[in-house]
């Protein structure tokens, strides 16, 4: 059927994506206001008592936000774009164990470089915006503090699902599988599509004092998706990145040694960041070479429009 968005001019498909994203964002805002509006006061008031009911509401709000803001618009974008909706947005049937292993190694080896960028980011002064951004950052950290209260292993599993797995699936479907794809189709410039989608990815996280590491992670995810055409690898990287953060908080509250390692006192030396970056680039090159062997099996002539 020529009515699918993939057969329409790229600008039409891009505008359709923006319409879907905007519409579901408004829906999520309405749902959050109606069902979870009362928990906003907890973020604004540092002395507010955080009850178990408030924590549960935070988790439901996060769950709803991931589904409504990211997963649903992406699924609709795929549905209206191609008869093969899931493969079109990167959900392939097949995946390579070797590439899964390479993706895991990539995340582990790039962590020092990401951490070093975080240190640089924390030293940036935003001038006249500094005060407002610090207030936003305090609110952001307050939300994390409330959300990451975990009394037992069951709480850990729930947080791994809500804060690690679900955002990894939703955000990869949205930023790489849909936005990056639409940008590439309209621009025919891979790096432009990857950079712009990474900028949006970083901005929507709402923390300017972590924007450099988040943007860089977005670049890495964008490149991995571009060379593999398979979201499963980027979902794994994204999930593990989120999961490490959740696990570090959980175990830091149970071990002073881990608490020190996870704290802000640890600094990444410049040479460590450089070595981390070089190894990471090497692993990405390996992923590309290995992906070239399997791409013909997942990129058909009918779905070849992702290749600019």
Give a yes or no: residue 244 inside a domain: yes
Q: Determine the pLDDT at residue 306.
A: 47
Mean pLDDT of the chain: 88
3-class DSSP string for 142-207: HHHHHHCCCCCHHHHHHHHHHHHHHHHHHHHHHHHHHHHHHHHHHHCCHHHHHHHHHHHHHHCCCC
Taking the whole predicted model, whether its pTM rises above 0.85 is answered as yes
- pLDDT for residue 301: 42
pLDDT at 261: 58
CA-to-CA separations, 281 to 109, 180, 264, in angstroms, rounded:
10, 21, 26
- Count of residues for the chain? 308
pLDDT band (50, 70, 90) for residue 307: very low
| The residue to which tokens 């009850």 are assigned | 51
Confidence category of residue 42, pLDDT binned at 50, 70, 90: low
119, 267 contact by CB (below 8 A): yes
Phi-psi region of 64 (alpha: psi -120 to 50; beta: other; left: phi over 0): alpha
Cα 41 to Cα 243: distance, rounded to the nearest angstrom:
28
Q: How far is the C-alpha of 213 from the C-alpha of 202, rounded, in Å?
A: 9
In-domain check, residue 83:
no
**Cα atoms in the Cβ-side hemisphere of radius 13 Å centred on 303:** 21
CB 100 within 8 A of CB 303: no
Note whether residue 240 is domain-resident. yes
Confidence tier at 222 by pLDDT (50, 70, 90): very high
Is there a contact between 300 and 115 (Cβ–Cβ < 8 Å)?
no
Does residue 15 lie within any of the structural domains?
A: no
Is 8 within the bounds of a domain? no
Q: How far is it, in rounded angstroms, from Cα 234 to Cα 172?
A: 7
Please tell me the total count of domains within the chain. Answer: 1
For 3-37, how does the pLDDT look when each residue is reduced to its tens digit (9 = 90+)?
899 999 999 999 999 999 999 999 999 998 887 77
Q: Is the residue at 11 inside a domain?
A: no
Position 259 scores a pLDDT of 58
Look at residue 73 and tell me if it is in a domain.
Answer: no
Over residues 130-143, the mean pLDDT reads 81
How many Å apart are CA 276 and CA 191, to the nearest integer? 22
What pLDDT score was predicted for residue 300?
Answer: 47
DSSP 293-307: HHHHHH--STTGGG-
Percentage of residues of the chain with pLDDT beyond 70: 86
Mean pLDDT of 47-56: 70
**pLDDT 10s digits, 103-124:** 999 999 999 999 999 999 988 8
| Contact call for residues 193 and 187 (beta carbons, < 8 A) | yes
Q: Which of 234, 215, 257 is nearest to 167 (CA)?
A: 234
Identify the domain containing residue 138 by its residue range. Answer: 92-306
CA angle 106, 109, 110 (to 5 degrees): 80
Kindly state whether residue 197 falls inside one of the protein's structural domains. yes
pLDDT at 133: 85
Query: How confident is the model at residue 260, as a pLDDT?
Result: 59
* Rounded Cα–Cα distance for residues 192 and 198 (Å): 10
Q: Which tens digit of pLDDT belongs to each residue from 54-92?
A: 778 888 888 999 999 999 999 999 999 999 999 999 999
Tokens of 105: 């190694």
Q: How far is the C-alpha of 172 from the C-alpha of 165, rounded, in Å?
A: 11
- Specify the DSSP class assigned to residue 285: H
User: Which residues are CB-neighbours of 248 under 8 A, at least 6 positions away?
Assistant: 258, 262
Task: Determine the Cα angle at 147 with ends 141 and 151, to 5°.
Answer: 125
Asked if pLDDT for residue 146 goes beyond 80, the answer is no
């Amino acid at each position: 059927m020529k009515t699918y968005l993939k057969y329409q001019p790229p600008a039409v498909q891009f505008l359709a994506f923006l319409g879907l994203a905007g519409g579901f964002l408004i829906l999520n805002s309405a749902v959050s206001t109606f069902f979870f509006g009362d928990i906003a006061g907890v973020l604004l008031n540092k002395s507010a008592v955080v009850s178990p009911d408030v924590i549960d509401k935070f988790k439901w709000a996060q769950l709803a936000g991931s589904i409504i803001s990211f997963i649903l618009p992406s699924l609709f974008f795929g549905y209206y774009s191609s008869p093969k909706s899931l493969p079109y947005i990167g959900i392939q049937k097949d995946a390579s164990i070797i590439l899964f292993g390479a993706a895991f190694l990539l995340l582990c080896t790039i962590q020092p470089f990401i951490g070093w960028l975080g240190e640089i980011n924390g030293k940036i002064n935003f001038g006249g915006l500094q005060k407002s951004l610090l207030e936003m950052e305090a609110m952001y950290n307050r939300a994390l503090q409330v959300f990451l209260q975990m009394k037992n292993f069951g709480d850990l599993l729930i947080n791994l699902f809500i804060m690690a797995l679900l955002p990894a699936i939703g955000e990869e479907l949205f930023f790489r599988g849909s936005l990056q794809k639409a940008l590439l189709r309209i621009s025919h410039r891979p790096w432009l599509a990857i950079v712009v989608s990474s900028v949006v990815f970083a901005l929507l996280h709402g923390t300017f004092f972590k924007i450099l590491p988040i943007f860089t992670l977005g670049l890495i995810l964008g490149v991995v998706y571009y060379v593999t055409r398979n979201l499963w690898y980027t979902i794994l990287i994204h999930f593990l990145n989120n999961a490490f953060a959740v696990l570090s908080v959980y175990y830091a509250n149970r071990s002073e040694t881990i608490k020190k390692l996870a704290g802000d006192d640890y600094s990444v030396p410049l040479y460590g960041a450089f070595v981390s970056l070089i190894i990471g680039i090497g692993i990405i090159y390996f992923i590309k070479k290995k992906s070239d062997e399997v791409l013909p099996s997942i990129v058909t002539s009918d779905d070849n429009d992702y290749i600019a």
